Chain A
Amino acid sequence: MWYRYVCLVVLVCLPSVSAAQMGGLDGLTAGNQEPTIILDPLFPSPGQSFTATVQDFSRTVFGSEITWSYNGTVIEEGSNQRSVELVAPAAGGNYELTAQLVTPVGLVQLVTTTINPIFIDIIIEPQTRVPDWYSGRALPSYASQINATILLHDGTDFLDPNQHVYTWRINQQAIEGGALRGGHKVSFATPRGSTPVLVVSVTDTRGTAIASRAITMPSLFPELFFYEKHSLYGVKNIPLQPDVAVVGGVLNLQAEPYFLDTRVYNRPDIAAWEINSVSTDTGSSNPYEITLSRVGSGGRTLLQFHVRSLQEVLQGVEEQIMISF
């Protein structure tokens, strides 16, 4: 009979033992899930508008009076609102954002976060061809290499990259195996798809998140334009129209394949000129140049140029131009 009483005691005490191991019954509700302030975007940049929301999985907010204050100033329009719209201060501003919750029974709880915006800049440097005189940036094309750099600026200087840990992902794939201390620069190949997504997260060396950004990048097909080249003045930086009339007897042309992988540009598998659909050996050491001379009384000539890699066939472009001498 005695064991019945033992079982009864065990059954009655078991929940208390479990609750004690978890920090008491309060731990299942408000204890471990205190209200927090969630920001959208998560890391507002200096001067950027953001939304702050009290997130609460307990019952603390229910029926509570909410008073927001930002950098010590009460936000009147935020009275009893779960969310407020704010503007981040200048870099290094360090503004305190507080939501004061007063429950119906008069208990006061302060929920606080600090807004300390920094500039999070991702600089994309595609390793594709643009002309030497071109003042714009090259753009990625499939399989070409991209160098990416993240720069964090706190209003006084760039943050020391060696004091941070960087995790890069391109289309959800980790770059260089995962998190890297001091890894604020990475290189990777342009993946398939027209708009790959690059994500970088930055933490300090203890794992506290300090920045995160995602950007989309273009992935273009190379483009080809023909430019007139003068032996003395170099390349004239206005491209020739698809149908061009030449006054003189000689025309030097340069084919400029924009956004072609520089490795392919330097060692193309195919770099071929055709005149009226007949392959032509230019005799030049530069495969991208050709010199045309008027023959007889002149006429119309269809000039084509084709450059391509045979390993990555999308790394290539061909274009044509009609020339009237």
Chain B
Amino acid sequence: MLLLIGIWAFVLFTGTTSDTVSFTDFEFGDTTDPNVIIPESLSDSENQPEVREEANQRLHQLTTKQVAGFAEINTSTNGRQVYYIETGTGHIFSIDLETRNQKRVSATTIPLASKGAVTPNGKHVLIQSNTGSRAQFVVGTLTDGSDRLSNVPLEQDIVSFAATVDNNFIIAVTEGNGLAVLVYEPITDQLIPQFTIPFREASIRWHHTAVGPHIVYPKATSRLEGYVYSYLNGVVTRHNATGYGLSAVGSSAAVIYSAVDGERYTTYSLATDQLISNNTPVTLIPEKCLFTRTSDTTAICGATLDEPPYLMPDPWYQGRVVLNDSLWEYNTNSQSARLLVFPESATGRQIDLINPQLGPDDQHFYFQNKVDQTLWMYQYKNTFN
């Protein structure tokens, strides 16, 4: 009897008893959504080697070290380089993107360096040493011909920071029951107030310019409601995006946000001048997304196609869930998504993507692997424009 049930179940799922069909090939990954474009590398096995080769050429692991911060630097003398700050030591290295040669540009040790930002001209860095109440912040200046940083400590209670295109740093510091956002100019050592955020538990997705729009939302948890605000030139806009477990990424044209709908983690896109959101074809964690600089309706995202775990994003924040991301390009206008590369099939390595960042001309998409904090790069071409 059991044997008959087994044969019936096999025929039901596979539709054949032929020897050529794999027992595990139940094709659960298929989709009928016309907005999801699966490249031939995944849909047509005959073309797989060529496309994989191209993906391999585009996807690169840049470091084996843990990275605390990084930026693409473009100088007339040294060409296009990536500067990165090594976690723990605060040493700064450059990688020539043409030759892949690596060089240490700062040997000044900043113990327990945990986060950092580098200005686009490669002259200044802001490094956080240690965490929590023991955190200290230092702004370092790199000088030609020396591997020493000249450091200036920042005494503010900084909770978030980033470098801006004009080679300054934008920082959020605690102020009363909220946060104050300031621009720090390393050349003048000036702090220039920008705007305030009326609560402390804020996640900030910094824009690459100081004026913004910077996307702000209460830190996400599946058990409390969140809301999306954007600050442009110091003026706050409340976007019509509300939900439990909400986190977001945005541009001047659109916001991508995910929230728990019922018990299902769902992703939406919302044009900034609209009230109604659209479901995105791929569910993703917005922390894994970044809008390109050349198109404010195109974002590059890391996404896992598996059903998101219960109570997302909390277990991912806690590290109890590790994701195996593929890289997607998503256009909020056309509501279509295109798979760029699946790192596991291209390199054999699983990537849980964090800290996405683009170079100034969108040619390179950088990110870290959450598992080992290493730095990766994908050579990007916008296929929607």
Contact = CB atoms under 8 A, between A and B. Distances in A.
Interface of A: 45-47, 90-91, 119, 121-125, 132-139, 147, 149, 151, 153, 155, 157-158, 185, 215, 217-218, 220, 225, 227, 230, 232-235, 237-239, 258
Nearest to A137: B219
B221 A136 contact: yes
Most buried by A among B112, B114, B225, B236: B225
A234 B88 contact: yes
B131 A133 contact: yes
Contacts of B198: 149, 151, 158
Given A137-B221, A153-B238, 9 more contacts: A47-B276, A123-B199, A125-B200, A133-B114, A133-B131, A136-B318, A137-B219, A139-B224, A149-B198
A217 to B, nearest CB: 7
Nearest to B66: A233
B191 to A, nearest CB: 24
Contact of A215 (B66, B201, B225, B238): B225
In the complex, the 6 A-B pairs of residues with the closest C-beta atoms, listed nearest first: A47-B275, A232-B88, A132-B132, A137-B219, A132-B131, A238-B319
Most buried by B among A119, A132, A233, A235: A233
Nearest to A134: B317
Most buried by B among A123, A139, A157, A230: A123
Contacts of B200: 125
B356 interface: no
A239 B224 contact: no
Q: How many B residues touch the partner, as a band?
A: 35 or more
B378 interface: no
Nearest to B316: A136
15 contacts: A91-B238, A119-B227, A124-B224, A125-B200, A136-B219, A151-B198, A151-B227, A153-B238, A234-B114, A234-B131, A237-B370, A238-B319, A238-B370, A238-B371, A239-B319
Most buried by A among B132, B225, B275, B314: B275
Nearest to B178: A149
B154 interface: no
Nearest to A217: B224
B287 to A, nearest CB: 7
A122 B14 CA distance: 51
Nearest to A225: B318
A225 B320 CA distance: 10
Contact of B238 (A119, A149, A217, A233): A119
A258 B221 CA distance: 13
A259 B242 CA distance: 24
B173 interface: no
B181 interface: no
B199 A125 contact: yes
Contacts of B371: 238
A136 B220 contact: yes
Contacts of A155: 238
A123 B287 CA distance: 20
A149 B319 contact: no
Contact of B220 (A137, A185, A234): A137
A185 B200 CA distance: 12
A121 B87 contact: no
Contact of A46 (B130, B177, B275, B287): B275
A317 B220 CA distance: 23
B235 interface: yes
Contacts of A138: 201
Contacts of A225: 318, 320
A151 B226 CA distance: 12
B140 interface: no
Contacts of B219: 135-137
B223 interface: yes
Given A132-B132, A232-B88, A234-B131, A147 B318 contact: no
Given A218-B223, A233-B87, A237-B319, A90 B275 contact: yes
Contacts of A133: 114, 131
Interface string B234-263: 011010101000000000000000000000
B236 A153 contact: yes
Nearest to B88: A232
Contacts of B89: 232
Contacts of A124: 218, 224-225
Contacts of B275: 46-47, 90
A185 B201 contact: no
A124 B246 CA distance: 13
Given A119-B227, A234-B131, A134 B318 contact: yes
B88 A137 contact: no
A145 to B, nearest CB: 13
Given A90-B275, A218-B223, A234-B114, A137 B218 contact: yes
Contacts of A237: 319, 370
Interface string B88-112: 1100000000000000000000011
Interface in B192-230: 198-201, 203, 218-221, 223-225, 227
Nearest to B130: A234
B120 interface: no
Contacts of A235: 131
A38 B66 CA distance: 60
A2 to B, nearest CB: 77
Contacts of A123: 199, 201, 218, 227
A167 B240 CA distance: 25
A215 B224 CA distance: 9
B313 interface: yes
Interface in B150-201: 177, 198-201
A157 B235 contact: yes
Contacts of A125: 199-201, 218
B238 A232 contact: no
B15 to A, nearest CB: 39
Contacts of A153: 236, 238
Given A215-B225, A218-B224, A135 B287 contact: yes
A138 B220 CA distance: 9
B37 interface: no
A47 B276 CA distance: 7
B121 to A, nearest CB: 28
B363 to A, nearest CB: 28
